Copies of this chain bind each other. A is one copy, B any other.
Amino acid sequence: MKKIRTAIFGTGFMGRVHTEAVRRLGNVEVAAIAARTADQARKFADTLGIESATGDYTTILNDPEIEAVHVCAPNALHFEMTKSALQAGKHVVCEKPLASTISEAQEMVDLAKARNLANCTLYNIRFYPQIQNMLHMREAGEFGEIQIVQGTYSQDWLLYDTDWNWRIESGPSRAFADIGTHWCDLAEYLTGLKITSVCAELETFRKARKRPKHSIETFAGKKLQPSDYDEVPVKTEDFCSMMFHMGEGVRGSMTASQVSAGRKNFLSIELYGTKASAAWNAERPDELWVGNRNSANELYIKDPSLMRAGASQYADLPGGHSEGYDDTFKQILRQFYKKVADSEQQAEFPTFVDGIRQLYVLNAVLESAAKRAWVDVAGGDW
A103 to B325, CA, bound (A): 42
Determine which of B17, B23, B47, B297 lies in contact with A301 in the assembled complex, contact meaning CB atoms within 8 Å: B297
A189 close to chain B: CB less than 8 A: no
A295 close to chain B: CB less than 8 A: yes
Contact A305 B20, CB 8 Å, known A199-B199, A289-B262: no
9-residue interface stretch from A71-79, A104-112, A115-123, A251-259: A251-259
- In the complex, the answer to whether B26 meets A47 with C-beta atoms within 8 Å is yes
Most chain B CB within 10 A, of A19, A219, A223, is at A219
A178 close to chain B: CB less than 8 A: no
Determine which of B45, B265, B297 lies in contact with A321 in the assembled complex, contact meaning CB atoms within 8 Å: B265
A45 to B316, CA, bound (A): 18
Interfacial chain B residues near A286, Cβ < 8 Å? 283-284, 322, 324
Determine which of B203, B222, B292 lies in contact with A294 in the assembled complex, contact meaning CB atoms within 8 Å: B222
User: How many copies of this chain does one complex carry?
Assistant: 4
- In the complex, the answer to whether A320 meets B148 with C-beta atoms within 8 Å is no
A67 close to chain B: CB less than 8 A: no
A20 to B27, CA, bound (A): 12
Interfacial chain B residues near A223, Cβ < 8 Å? 305
When C-beta atoms are compared, the residue in chain B nearest to A221 turns out to be: B305
- In the complex, the answer to whether B263 meets A291 with C-beta atoms within 8 Å is yes
Interfacial chain B residues near A299, Cβ < 8 Å? 289, 296-299
Interfacial chain B residues near A277, Cβ < 8 Å? 260-263
Q: From residue 150 to 180 of chain A, which have CB atoms closer than 8 A to chain B?
A: 150, 152, 154-157, 159-160
Determine which of B26, B241, B251, B293 lies in contact with A48 in the assembled complex, contact meaning CB atoms within 8 Å: B26
A51 close to chain B: CB less than 8 A: yes
A266 to B211, CA, bound (A): 41
Nearest CB on B from A305, distance (A): 4
A257 to B277, CA, bound (A): 13
A317 close to chain B: CB less than 8 A: yes
Nearest CB on B from A311, distance (A): 13
Interfacial chain B residues near A273, Cβ < 8 Å? 261
Contact A323 B321, CB 8 Å, known A277-B260, A303-B264: no
A118 to B241, CA, bound (A): 40
Most chain B CB within 10 A, of A252, A276, A303, is at A303
Most chain B CB within 10 A, of A16, A253, A274, A298, is at A253
Interfacial chain B residues near A378, Cβ < 8 Å? none
- In the complex, the answer to whether B203 meets A251 with C-beta atoms within 8 Å is yes
A372 to B371, CA, bound (A): 13
Interfacial chain B residues near A27, Cβ < 8 Å? 49
A199 to B243, CA, bound (A): 9
A-B contact pairs, 15 of them (CB 8 A): A26-B50, A160-B293, A199-B243, A205-B249, A241-B252, A260-B272, A261-B275, A262-B293, A264-B321, A283-B286, A283-B320, A295-B298, A295-B306, A296-B298, A323-B325
**4 nearest A-B pairs in the assembled complex, by CB-CB distance:** A262-B291, A265-B320, A264-B320, A324-B324
Given contacts A23-B23, A222-B294, 14 further A-B contacts (CB under 8 A): A3-B49, A26-B49, A199-B199, A259-B272, A261-B273, A261-B276, A262-B290, A263-B277, A264-B302, A283-B286, A286-B322, A298-B298, A324-B326, A373-B373
